[in-house]
A and B are shown apart, each in its own frame.
Chain A
């Protein structure tokens, strides 16, 4: 069935350093890839997304890349700040199946 693998499960970086989270999906019909940030006790909220017809997208300190051939997509956070500490989820959506399949999450800790 559909599956999204996400690595690493935990990531600690020094403030100011970059963080990279990687995901791999299995459903070749997936065409939309959002990234969510979930702070403790709160709901997941979208931080950036990318569609299957685009290879890269950037929004200030956050960027996402997509390699459709390899079924890989990655989140890049530059100049990390303590407030970036949270759990990050990647997801893959297929309009044929009407569901977002989430990765297993990455707990990011930015050390001041």
Chain B
């Protein structure tokens, strides 16, 4: 009954390849995110989707293309992988519960460690 699940957990690939990371959440949340965590552990937002619509694209190279087929899924496709893409990629989701309560925590997937060689 994992809340946010990503696949694969590990991904080793050569430069120039194209790869995808899948993310699914069963929390009924409307908003999903992709974060990149580099070797220094910085967590940087890449994309935010709300109700399948792209809300945020944080100056991510267009080699990265998110796709949200429905509210429960947000996949990340990466073209022409580069060495600098090596990082841990986290998917997350969150929800606004009525205006009086506001937003709640972001629930993270277990991460996908991408290594480009």
Residues of chain A touching chain B, judged by Cβ–Cβ distance below 8 Å, are: 31-32, 34, 38, 42-46, 49, 51, 87, 89, 91, 93, 95, 97-102, 104-105, 107
Contacts and interface: CB of A to CB of B under 8 A. Distances in A.
B102 A31 contact: yes
Contact of B50 (A32, A98, A101): A98
A89 B43 contact: yes
A95 B103 contact: yes
A43 B33 contact: no
A34 B107 CA distance: 11
Contacts of A51: 102
Given A43-B90, A100-B33, A101-B45, A95 B108 contact: no
B105 A105 contact: no
> Would you call the interface of chain A mostly helix, strand, loop, or mixed?
strand
Contact of B105 (A49, A101, A104): A49
A105 B102 contact: no
Which of B44, B96, B106: most chain A Cβ within 10 A?
A: B106
B114 to A, nearest CB: 15
Nearest to B59: A1
B102 A44 contact: no
Contact of B96 (A45, A89, A95): A95
Contact of B103 (A38, A93, A101): A93
Nearest to B56: A99
Contact of B42 (A43, A49, A97, A105): A105
A102 B110 CA distance: 17
Contacts of B103: 31-32, 93, 95
A8 B58 CA distance: 26
